[in-house]
């Protein structure tokens, strides 16, 4: 007898949407059929849609060391309330940053104690840590993140082109992807300096200092370096249709590239950013309506691979000030990724539910080689989210689980109420409340065969 049966939901499976029962045994999906037998626990899902649980490949919970910014305990609760079952934490803004074995192990221990969802850990590429990348792979890193522009944290310096290229060579050796924050340091710094010299410090001045050109140039350069290094490239938070086009052109030229955008670029424009101010500051910045429409076109055309949150909160004091350039950049939205795709995608633009499952679960699982994750299929982990597509709600402080209840989504109206999130067969969130809190575990790539043919030493 199964442990759990979900009855009569519309299941968004890899082969289409089917009305069926879903049975769970030992944390895995053991049957999907028109009618399965009884179980010790049953959930009535008639009228509800069942999607695979969200795997958020890009966020910052800042633990250990900066739990006053967020922490995995609160962050993973927010994620679960938004339909999330797993996240990949970036190597910053924890203290220390995840750039070596000891730092990785410290974060793993901290998150195993605090996260209520599963998690994976990104390692970092910074000048001087190339020899640590193999160790990070052994520890189970999901991939390596590098900044092509200033990260905002002096302890996580940007990777110059040679550091990035040599890091990519090492990443290729251990068969892990390299994620880049793709914005030109030269262009953004020079424009920021010019604005400072002219005393221009407002929102619009900041937006003008980070043009789409800076993103496109960096994507093209990263793609060239990755192709030369034989590395898999993951471009995080592409903010513009032209950025996606640049990544697609690189793929056509032979770069193994995955394309991520974030929910906030699909939901807010730069006009919203000017109205909302610091709470909506991020890099790359929000774009104008025309550029956002072009980005949506790429999502609807199936050209974007992943939608993540880039949840990056900070204490309220860091989100205030007269100088917009100095205010901390980062949008807190871990709870709203699926909500945006359902409201602005499914309801407003006809984005297919199967495509939403692909963007939030199936592709992340494939790209990062998670075993038994990312889809409603027999044998996979029973990770899913029950959604009432017609249920509408407004984002309010009382419904948020993140540490600081500050988000540009406050007051947003979403259709697609998340009724329940289930991780490996156990409910972690239901009817507005967190349930189990001892479920999360670390995920690692299924295997990382190490190439012995190419050395990681000096290559130029």
Q: Which is nearer to Zn ion, 10 or 76 (CB)?
A: 76
d(CA 81, CA 366): 24
Cβ 262 to Zn ion shortest distance, Å: 8
Cβ 341 to Zn ion shortest distance, Å: 19
Cβ 273 to Zn ion shortest distance, Å: 17
Q: Which is nearer to Zn ion, 146 or 244 (CB)?
A: 146
Q: Which is nearer to Zn ion, 81 or 180 (CB)?
A: 180
Burial label for 460, CB within 10 Å (0-12, 13-18, 19+), is exposed
Instruction: State the binding string over 30-49 for Zn ion (x if CB under 5 A, else -).
Output: --------------------
Q: Which is nearer to Zn ion, 220 or 310 (CB)?
A: 310
Cβ 58 to Zn ion shortest distance, Å: 6
Cβ 311 to Zn ion shortest distance, Å: 8
d(CA 267, CA 349): 12
Q: Which is nearer to Zn ion, 91 or 345 (CB)?
A: 91
Cβ 47 to Zn ion shortest distance, Å: 37
Cβ 88 to Zn ion shortest distance, Å: 10
402-421 residues near Zn ion, rule: CB under 5 A: none
Is residue 94 within 8 A of residue 126, CB to CB? The reply is: no
Q: Which is nearer to Zn ion, 118 or 310 (CB)?
A: 310
d(CA 53, CA 6): 15
Q: Which is nearer to Zn ion, 166 or 310 (CB)?
A: 310
The answer to whether the peptide bond before residue 265 is cis (omega within 30 degrees of 0) is no
d(CA 332, CA 14): 30
298-357 residues near Zn ion, rule: CB under 5 A: 310
Cβ 59 to Zn ion shortest distance, Å: 7
What HEC string does the chain produce? CCCEEEEEEEEEECCEEEEEEEEEECCEEEEEECCCCCCCEEEECCCCEEEECEEEEEECCCCCCCCCCCCHHHHHHHHHHCCEEEEEECCCCCCCCCCCHHHHHHHHHHHHHHCCCEEEEEEECCCCCHHHHHHHHHHCCCEEEEECCCCCCCCCCCCCHHHHHHHHHHHHHCCCCEEEECCCHHHHHHHHHHHHHCCCCCHHHHHHCCCHHHHHHHHHHHHHHHHHHCCCEEECCCCCHHHHHHHHHHHHCCCCEEEEEEHHHHHCCHHHHHHHHHHHCCCCCCCCHHHHHHHHHHHHCCCCCEEECCECCCCHHHHCCCCCCCCCCCECCCCCHHHHHHHHHHHHHCCCHHHHHHHHHHHHHHHCCCCCCCCCCCCCECCEEEEEEEEEEECCHHHCCCCCCCCCCCCCEEEEEEEEEEECCEEEEECCEECCCCCCCECCCCCCCCCCCCCCCCCC
Cβ 252 to Zn ion shortest distance, Å: 27
Cβ 90 to Zn ion shortest distance, Å: 5
Question: How many residues touch Zn ion (CB under 5 A)?
Answer: 1
Q: Which is nearer to Zn ion, 181 or 373 (CB)?
A: 181
Q: Which is nearer to Zn ion, 99 or 386 (CB)?
A: 99
Q: Which is nearer to Zn ion, 116 or 236 (CB)?
A: 236
Q: For Zn ion, which residue has the nearest CB? A: 310
Cβ 434 to Zn ion shortest distance, Å: 25
Cβ 310 to Zn ion shortest distance, Å: 4
Q: Which is nearer to Zn ion, 305 or 310 (CB)?
A: 310
Is residue 281 within 8 A of residue 297, CB to CB? The reply is: no
183 touches Zn ion by CB under 5 A:
no
d(CA 439, CA 432): 18
Q: Which is nearer to Zn ion, 89 or 381 (CB)?
A: 89
- State the residues that interact with Zn ion by CB under 5 A: 310
């Amino acid at each position: 007898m199964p442990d759990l049966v979900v009855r009569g939901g519309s299941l968004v499976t890899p082969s289409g949407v089917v009305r069926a029962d879903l049975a769970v045994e030992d944390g895995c999906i053991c049957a999907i059929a028109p009618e399965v037998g009884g179980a010790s626990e049953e959930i009535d899902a008639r009228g509800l849609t069942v999607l695979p649980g969200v795997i958020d490949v890009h966020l910052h919970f800042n633990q250990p060391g900066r739990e006053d910014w967020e922490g995995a305990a609160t962050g993973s609760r927010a994620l679960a309330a938004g339909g999330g079952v797993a996240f990949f934490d970036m190597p910053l803004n924890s203290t220390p940053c995840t750039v070596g074995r000891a730092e990785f192990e410290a974060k793993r221990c901290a998150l195993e104690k605090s996260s209520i969802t599963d998690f994976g850990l990104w390692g970092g590429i910074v000048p001087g840590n190339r020899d640590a990348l193999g160790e990070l792979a052994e520890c189970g890193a999901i991939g390596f993140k590098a900044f092509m522009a200033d990260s905002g944290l002096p302890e996580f310096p940007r990777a110059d082109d040679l550091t990035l290229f040599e890091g990519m060579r090492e990443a290729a050796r251990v068969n892990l992807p390299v994620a880049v924050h793709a914005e030109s340091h030269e262009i953004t710094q020079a424009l920021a300096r010019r604005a400072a010299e002219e005393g221009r410090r407002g929102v619009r001045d900041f937006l003008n200092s980070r043009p789409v050109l800076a993103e496109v140039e960096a994507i093209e350069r990263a793609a060239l370096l990755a192709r030369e290094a034989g590395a898999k490239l993951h471009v995080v938070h592409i903010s513009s249709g032209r950025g996606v086009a640049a990544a697609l052109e690189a793929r056509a030229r032979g770069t193994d590239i995955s394309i991520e955008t974030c929910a906030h670029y699909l939901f807010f424009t730069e006009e919203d950013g000017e109205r909302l101010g610091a709470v909506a500051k991020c890099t790359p910045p929000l774009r104008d309506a025309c550029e956002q429409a072009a980005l949506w076109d790429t999502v609807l055309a199936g050209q974007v691979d992943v939608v993540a949150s880039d949840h990056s909160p900070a204490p309220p004091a860091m989100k205030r000030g007269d100088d917009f350039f100095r205010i901390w950049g980062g949008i807190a939205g871990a709870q709203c990724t699926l909500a945006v795709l359902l409201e602005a995608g499914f309801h407003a633009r006809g984005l297919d539910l199967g495509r939403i499952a692909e963007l939030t679960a199936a592709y992340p699982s494939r790209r990062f080689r998670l075993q038994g994750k990312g889809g409603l299929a027999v044998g996979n982990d029973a990770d899913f989210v029950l959604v009432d597509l017609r249920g509408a709600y407004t984002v309010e402080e009382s419904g948020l689980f993140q540490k600081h209840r500050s988000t540009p989504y406050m007051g947003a109206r979403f259709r697609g109420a998340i009724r329940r999130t289930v991780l490996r067969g156990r409910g972690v969130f239901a009817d507005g409340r967190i349930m189990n809190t001892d479920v999360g575990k670390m995920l690692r790539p299924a295997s990382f065969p190490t190439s012995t043919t190419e050395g990681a030493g000096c290559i130029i």
